[in-house]
Amino acid sequence: MTARVSMRSITRMRYRALSDIRVVDLTHFIAGPYATKLLADMGAEVVKVEPPWGDGGRKLGPHRAADEDRDGLFAFLNLNKRGVTLNLKHERGCELLARLLDGADLLIENFAPGTLAALGLAPDELIAKFPKLSVISISNFGQDGPERDGKLNDLVLFARGGWTFPVGERDREPLTPPGSLAQYVAALYGAIAAMQALAARDLGLGHGQHIDVSILEATVATMIYETVTFQYTGIVRSRAGKRFAVGPFLIVTLKCKDGYAGLHCVTDKQFQGLCDLMGRRELASDPRFNSALNRMLNNDALLEIVEAFFIGRERKWLYREGQRRAIPLVPIPSVAEVLEWEQTRARNYFETIDDPVLGKFRVPGTPLRLTSHRAEASRPAPRLGEHNREIFGGRLGLSDAEIETLKRAGAI
C-alpha cells in the first residue's frame, strides 16, 4: 500500500516546490536576475555565472558600503543563489559551462540575440546535447525581427511599449513612468516560461526547448485596455493629467489635508456612495450628475466639488470611510509608508536580509504562498566568484591547483 503523506508532514520536511530543479543563470542587470530569483525563492538550485569582472548589476546602486562588489539591488535580485565566475570568451570557460549544463534543467540568459551561438553555445545545439535542458532567452526585442539587435533601456521600453504617451498633463509633453517596472514584468514572463518548459518536458514532450521572451512584448502585453479600446472604438487615450481619462469616469488623484489620495468612481453605486461620503446626497439626483453621460458632460464641475471636499480631509479618514461605502479610494503613500503598511506587516511580507557586506535591510518578499512552503531569503547574494571552489571543485572535480591555473589564465 502506498504511504500517504499529510500536508503537515510535508511542511515539517521543509519541502520546497522546485528543490529538484537545477538552473544555470547567465543573466545580468534586472530582468534576467529577477526571473532566476523567483525560481531560487521556490527552492531551485540556481548557479549564477558571471564574467570575472562581474555582473554590471553590481554597480547600479544603491551602495551602502565602500566595497563596490555589490549594491542593494544586486543583493536583492540574487538572493538564494550560488555564484561562480567564467570567462565565456575563453575556451576553457565555455568547456566548464558545458559541464555545468550536464544535468541542468534550465539555462536562462539575457545576452543580445546570437551571442550564445557566437560562443559555440547555440540553444538548439545545447538542447540536442542535453535533451532535458531548456533554454530561456530574455532579450530586448526578441530573437528575430528587423530590430532584434536594437539597444534598450527603461526610457525605450516605456515609450515603445505604449506607457509614456498617455502619462502627463493634457497640453504638456508625455512623461516617462519612474522605475524599471517593465523589466520586472518581463522577468515574470521569464519565470513562467521556465515553468512551462519544465511542465512540457515532463508531461508530454520528453525533452527541453528554446523559449524566446521579448522584454518589449512583455511591456506591450500590459497595455491591454489601451490596445483593445483603440481596436474597438478607434479612440487613442490621451494625456489627462491627474485624471485617468476625460469621460464618464471620475478616476483621479486628489490633494488631501496630509498628502494625496486616488479616487476611482465609475458606477452609479460608487457615485452614490461618494455623495454620501461628502454629505451631499442631493448630487446623486442633480441633473448635471445623475447619469454617467451627464457626469461626463459636467466632469469639470463635479471635479471642483470633489476637490473642495478632499482638501480638508486626512487620507486615513477618507480611506476608512471609502471602504465602508465600497468606494475604491486609497491614500497615495511614499515608499516609507509602503514599508510600514499594517497589511503587509501583518502578513510579514517584507523580509530582513543580513548581507555580509551591506548589513541588514528590508526587501520585498514573494507574493506566492504555497500551503507547503513559504519562500524566504535563506542565502545572501554571492560575492563575486564566491562558490568557484564549491562548484568547480566539489561538483566538477577540479583540484585547487587546476582552479588556480584557470584563474591565472583568465578562464574563471
Is pLDDT of 63 > 80? no
- Which triple of cell numbers denotes residue 351? 523580509
The pLDDT value given to residue 12: 42
Is pLDDT of 398 > 90? yes
Is pLDDT of 246 > 60? no
What is the distance of C-alpha 271 from the center of its chain?
35
Domain 250-332 matching CATH 3.30.1540.10: the answer reads yes
Q: What is the mean pLDDT of the chain?
A: 89
- Which triple of cell numbers denotes residue 305? 466639488
Mean pLDDT of 107-130: 96
Is pLDDT of 54 > 80? yes
The ranges assigned to domains in the chain are 7-221+351-409, 250-332
Question: Per-residue pLDDT tens for 182-235?
Answer: 999 999 999 999 999 999 999 989 999 999 999 999 999 988 878 888 888 888
The pLDDT value given to residue 47: 98
The pLDDT value given to residue 108: 98
Mean pLDDT of 46-61: 93
> CB under 8 Å to 147, separation ≥6 — which residues?
141
Mean pLDDT of 296-321: 94
Question: Per-residue pLDDT tens for 143-162?
Answer: 999 999 988 888 888 888 88
Is pLDDT of 37 > 60? yes
Mean pLDDT of 172-180: 87
H/E run at residue 189? helix 181-200
The pLDDT value given to residue 67: 60
The pLDDT value given to residue 248: 53
Mean pLDDT of 38-53: 96
Is pLDDT of 5 > 70? no
Amino acid at 297: L
Mean pLDDT of 332-351: 90
Mean pLDDT of 11-40: 87
The pLDDT value given to residue 65: 63
To 10 degrees, the CA torsion angle through 261, 263, 269, 273?
A: 20
The pLDDT value given to residue 60: 85
> Quick one: 399 exposed, middle or buried, by C-beta within 10 A (0-12, 13-18, 19+)?
exposed
Question: Minimum mean pLDDT among 13-17, 87-91, 324-328: which range?
Answer: 13-17
Regarding beta strands 329-331 and 259-265, do their DSSP bridges make them parallel or antiparallel, or are they unpaired?
A: antiparallel
The pLDDT value given to residue 15: 63
Is pLDDT of 8 > 50? no
Mean pLDDT of 125-140: 97
Of 163, 157, 144, which is closest to residue 216 (Cα–Cα)? 157
The pLDDT value given to residue 68: 62
The pLDDT value given to residue 367: 83
Highest mean pLDDT, choosing among 142-146, 164-168, 174-178: 142-146
With beta carbons less than 8 A apart as the criterion, state whether 20 and 42 touch: no
SS3 content of the chain, % helix, strand, coil (to 5): 40, 15, 45
Banded model confidence at residue 14, pLDDT cuts 50, 70, 90 = low
Give the rounded percent of residues in the chain with a pLDDT score beyond 90. 65
CATH number of the domain at 7-221+351-409, please? 3.40.50.10540
The pLDDT value given to residue 158: 87
The pLDDT value given to residue 250: 83
H/E run at residue 198? helix 181-200
With beta carbons less than 8 A apart as the criterion, state whether 77 and 38 touch: no
Is pLDDT of 2 > 50? no
Banded model confidence at residue 1, pLDDT cuts 50, 70, 90 = very low
Banded model confidence at residue 251, pLDDT cuts 50, 70, 90 = confident
